[in-house]
């Protein structure tokens, strides 16, 4: 599975970083950096939580 960020929606609110700091980090200009776009089965529940928690619905998971 891969994480995909819709850059037209993301405003760098950082809730994903709070939930999964090994995958998401907001940089100094306020843009979201994907530290690791591939996820393992073990990480899936946490990443799904991050996806669902995004206030701007900017994240999705793709096969």
Partner 1 sequence: MPTSKAVSHLVVVGGSLAGLRAIGAARKAGFSGELTLIGAEPHLPYDRPPLSKVFLDTLDLGVAPLSTTFHDEAHLRDELGVSLRLGTPVSGLDLDAREVQLADRAIRYDHLVIATGADARRLPGSHGLAGVHTLRSVDDARAIRGALDAGARTVVIGAGFIGSEVAASARKRGLDVTIIEALPVPLSRAVGDELGPMVARLHGRNGTTLICGVTVEALVGSTRVEGVALSDGRVLAADLVVVGIGAVPTTGWLEGSGLALNDGVVCDATLSTGHPGVYAAGDVARWHNPLFDRSQRLEHWTSAAEQGAAAGRNAISPAQAKPYSTVPYFWSDWYDARIQFVGIPDADEVRIVEGDPERDPRWVGLYRSGDRITGALAVNGQSVIMKYRAMIGRQTSFREAIEFGQRRQLSPT
Helix segments in the chain, DSSP class H: 15-19, 44-53
User: What is the nearest approach in angstroms of partner 1 to the Cβ of residue 26?
Assistant: 4
Interface with partner 1, residue 26, by CB under 8 A: yes
Q: Which is nearer to partner 1, 14 or 61 (CB)?
A: 14
Task: Kindly tell me which residue out of 2, 4, 18, 36 binds partner 1, with binding defined by CB under 8 A.
Answer: 18
Task: Find residue 26's DSSP bridge partners.
Answer: 32
3-class DSSP state for residue 59? strand
Query: How many CB atoms within 10 Å of residue 10?
Result: 18
- Contact residues toward partner 1 (CB under 8 A) are 11-15, 17-18, 21, 25-28, 30, 52-53, 55
């Amino acid at each position: 599975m891969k994480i995909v960020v819709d850059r037209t929606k993301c405003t760098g609110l950082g809730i994903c970083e709070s939930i999964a700091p090994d995958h998401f980090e907001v940089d100094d200009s306020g843009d979201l950096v994907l530290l690791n776009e591939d996820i393992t089965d073990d990480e899936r529940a946490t990443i799904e939580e991050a996806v669902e928690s995004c206030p701007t619905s900017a994240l999705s998971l793709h096969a």
